[in-house]
Chain A
Amino acid sequence: MRTGIAAEFADEATLLAAIHRVRDHGLTRLETYGPVPSEAIDLALGKERSSLSVAAGIGGLCGAAGAYALQWFLVAYLYPIDLGGRPPHMPLPYLIITIEMGFLFGAIAVFVAFLVACRLVRLWDPINDVPGFESATRDHFWLAIDGDDPALDRLGDALDDAARVAPFGGAA
């Protein structure tokens, strides 16, 4: 079970400072929590931009290709019914549903990927047990240091100007 130390900060600035100190001390397994997204924090944590857009792209392409193939298979191959002399395989009308399905599957793909990547559909996390953690969705910022961080013992005073420091997930 995941364990670690959680520290609450009044605002983003103090959090950023703390992150820098903690990282100077060689700690790497960090995660922050806050009411708003912040590129500064990502920068401090040294994280790259998310690559979920790929999911959208793949999903979209698969959806579109599948839709066109299905239309051709059903309408032009399986039962090529004569409708007012229109040729069985008629790309122009096929394209409309193709495009729509591209959008649909792109959207669904990126959303599912989002749920997975964020490890959502998960109501409880050890850190939820930290008293006062709710402030993370209101106004405060939290820094969580993973319990199995090899450099945990070198933490020292890094978290001194935290509003509060608490361990989570059983023993620390």
Chain B
Amino acid sequence: MRCSPNPVALFTPTASAVYRGVVIGAVVAVGAALCAPMIYIRTGYASGEGDPVEQPIEFDHRHHVRDDGIDCVYCHSTVETEAYAGIPSTERCMGCHGQVWPDSPETAPLRASWETHTPIRWKRINALPDYVYFHHGVHVQAGVACASCHGDVRNMARVSKAHDLSMKFCLDCHRSTQDSRAITHLTTCTTCHR
């Protein structure tokens, strides 16, 4: 004999399946929501790695460093001694470009800056938060190559960020110079935070 389905039955088999799906799905979703930002922050997109920024002047490091063989320090003159590497003044650029390419369109903004005595406003590529104090001089003195943070600038048409420059990035390098993970003058907080 056939059994008639219960007229007052609350749930159908489908409803049951859907419900189970929803419950399990909810649990998974919560987990995913927690992980998502941790993954995002590690992506180059978050840190802006490798996206070249348009500069007021189409300055190409390849010509100056690779082709003309100009040393980094010639322009970034305080990099070996001071906290700031030093961005060359218009005067310094004009030192060469007064004769070299004196009337090429690329260097027009440079000449304008020189004539109107208004500074060139470059876009900053590698920025650290203000509560981080970085001293170029000591790093260069310690034999850290420019490229280990700034990447292979000599082959960049437009400079782009080479590393995320996160605290972890700094710490990894600072730790690599010592054999243990113990706290030293290189890994204590006030090394960078004051």
Contact = CB atoms under 8 A, between A and B. Distances in A.
Given A121-B23, A123-B16, A172 B11 contact: no
A122 interface: yes
Given A122-B16, A122-B20, A123-B16, A80 B9 contact: no
Interface string B19-36: 110011000000000000
Nearest to B23: A121
A166 interface: yes
Contact of B9 (A81, A128, A170): A128
Contacts of A129: 3, 5-6, 9
Main secondary structure of the interface of B (DSSP, over half): loop
A111 interface: no
Nearest to A81: B183
A121 B21 CA distance: 9
B13 interface: yes
B3 A170 contact: yes
Question: Main secondary structure on chain A at its contact with chain B?
Answer: loop
B181 interface: yes
Interface residues of B, number: 24
Nearest to B20: A121
Interface residues of A, number: 22
A133 B12 CA distance: 15
A129 B187 CA distance: 69
B183 A130 contact: no
B10 A167 contact: no
Interface string A76-96: 011111100000000000000
A78 B13 CA distance: 51
Given A128-B6, A167-B3, A170-B3, A80 B181 contact: yes
Interface of B: 1-3, 5-13, 15-16, 19-20, 23-24, 171, 181-183, 187-188
Given A82-B183, A130-B3, A167-B1, 17 more contacts: A77-B181, A79-B187, A80-B181, A80-B183, A121-B19, A123-B11, A123-B19, A124-B9, A124-B13, A128-B6, A128-B9, A128-B11, A129-B6, A129-B9, A131-B7, A169-B3, A170-B3
